[in-house]
Amino acid sequence: MLYLVAMGLKTKGKGRRWARRTANLLLIAAIFLAGVNVGNGRIDLQRHSSVNGSLPNRLDYTGVDQLYRSIKDNYDGKLSAQQLQDGLKHGLATATKDPYTVYFTPKEAKDFSDQLNNSFSGIGAQLGQDADGNLEVIAPIDDLPAAKAGLKPKDIIASINGTTTSGMSVDEAVSKIRGPKNTQVKLQIVRDHKQSLDFNITRQDINLPSVKSKTLDGNIGYLQITSFSPDTVGLAQKAAEQFKSQNVKGIILDMRNDPGGLLDAAIKVSSLWLPPGQKVLDEKQGNRTTDSSTSVGGNILTGIPTVVLIDGGSASASEIMAGALHDNNQAYLIGEKSYGKGVVQQLINFGDGSQLKVTVASWYRPNGQNINHKGVTPDKIVKISDADAKAGTDTQLQAAQAYLAAKQ
* DSSP H or E stretch at residue 332: strand 332-335
Q: Identity (one letter) of the amino acid at 387?
A: A
Alpha-carbon distance 219 to 246, whole Å? 8
Whether 216 and 222 have beta carbons less than 8 Å apart is answered as yes
Of 10, 341, 357, 362, which is the active-site residue?
Answer: 341
Sign of CA dihedral 373, 90, 111, 236: positive
Sign of CA dihedral 117, 121, 125, 129: negative
Alpha-carbon distance 382 to 337, whole Å? 10
* DSSP H or E stretch at residue 205: strand 204-206
- Neighbouring-strand partners of residue 129: 135
What angle, 0 to 180 degrees and rounded to 10, lies between the N-to-C axes of helices 170-177 and 106-116? Answer: 80
Whether 236 and 261 have beta carbons less than 8 Å apart is answered as no
Whether 128 and 341 have beta carbons less than 8 Å apart is answered as yes
Closest CA to 317 of 95, 1, 5: 5
Of 227, 327, 357, 362, which is the active-site residue?
Answer: 327
402: three-class secondary structure by DSSP: helix
Whether 341 and 32 have beta carbons less than 8 Å apart is answered as no
Whether 219 and 249 have beta carbons less than 8 Å apart is answered as yes
For 285, how many CA atoms within 13 A lie in the half-sphere containing its CB? 10
327 is catalytic: yes
Closest CA to 154 of 224, 257, 226: 257
13: three-class secondary structure by DSSP: helix
Q: Identity (one letter) of the amino acid at 325?
A: L
Of 316, 318, 338, 362, which is the active-site residue?
Answer: 316
388 is catalytic: no
Residues belonging to the active site: 316, 327, 341
